[in-house]
Amino acid sequence: MTSEKLNLLLEQTQDVAKSAGAFIRKERQHFDPNKIEHKGFNDLVSYVDKEAEKMIVDRLSKILPEAGFITEEGTSTTQAEQYNWVIDPLDGTTNFIHGIPVFSVSIALMEKEEVILGVVYEINLHECFYAKKGGGAFCNDTRISVSPAKNLSESLMVTGFPYANFDQVDKYLEVLKYMMQHTHGARRFGSAAVDLCYVASGRAEGFFEYNLNSYDVAAGTLIVEEAGGKVTDFSGGRNFVFGRQILASNAKIHEPVLSKLQEVWG
C-alpha cells in the first residue's frame, strides 16, 4: 500500500471513529440498562456496541472494499488474505453501562500479521489517538511520545483486572502487588485501548494485562510503538495482538517489568 493511500485511510478512519463515538456519546445520555445482554460471565454487551459496530463496518467496507474484518460483536466475520480491519466498537462497555466516563472506539488495519494503522478515539475527552506504520503517533494532531522515566520507582503502571477468566488471578495479583510496592502506583481505567494510549502519550510508563482479544489491543499497540515505546507478550516475543498477553511500556522500564512477569508466569 502506498504512503499516500495509507495517509488517506488514516484520515478516513479517524472520521469513522469519531462518528461512532458521537453516536455512543448520544446514546449514553438516555441509555436503558435493561437492554444489557450477557455474552458470558461479566462479559456485557448492549445495543449500542452492536449498532456502533454496524456503522463502522459499513463505512470501512466502502473505504477499503478488499479488506476483511475481525470484530468483537461479529457484525462481519469474513477475513481477507492481505488486509483486515480489527474493530472494538466500544472498548469499556462495563464503564459505559455504569456511566463511568472512560470508554473508546478502537480501529486497526492489519496487513497480513502486521498492524499498519491504528486509531483510538476516547469518547468522553474527545481525544483521538492515531498512528500509521513508520509515521509517528499523534493525539488530536499533536505528536505524542512516551515518558522519559528511566526507573520503576518513578513510573505509574496501568492494568486491567481479570473479570471472567480467574485461573491465573493469583499470578496476576502477585505481579500487581510487586508493581504497587515498586512504582508510583497502579491504575485500572477499564479500557485497554485507552490504557495503551496513555502509555503512548507519557501519562503512564507501563501497561500489562492478560486474557485480552485482538480488537482490544491492535490499534493501541501500534500507537505505543510509533510513540517510541515497546510492546511484547509475557515471554518477550511479538505475539501480543492474538496471544492474549501484553506488556507495553516506555521501553526504559520494559525489562524489569518483563522479568517479573516471566518469574511469575513461568
Residue spans of the domains in the chain: they are 3-143, 152-265
Q: Categorise residue 52: left if φ over 0, alpha if ψ from -120 to 50, beta otherwise.
A: alpha
Task: Using a pLDDT cut of 90, give the percent of the chain over it.
Answer: 84
Q: Categorise residue 193: left if φ over 0, alpha if ψ from -120 to 50, beta otherwise.
A: alpha
pLDDT of residue 42: 44
pTM of the prediction? 0.95
What's the topology of domain 152-265? D-Maltodextrin-Binding Protein; domain 2 (3.40.190)
Q: What is the mean pLDDT of residues 232-253?
A: 97
Q: Categorise residue 251: left if φ over 0, alpha if ψ from -120 to 50, beta otherwise.
A: left
In tens, the pLDDT along 42-98 reads: 455 678 888 999 999 999 999 999 999 999 888 888 899 999 999 999 999 999 989
Q: What is the mean pLDDT of residues 141-161?
A: 97
Architecture of domain 3-143: 2-Layer Sandwich (3.30)
Please indicate whether the domains covering 3-143 and 152-265 agree at the CATH topology level: no
pLDDT at 115 over 60: yes
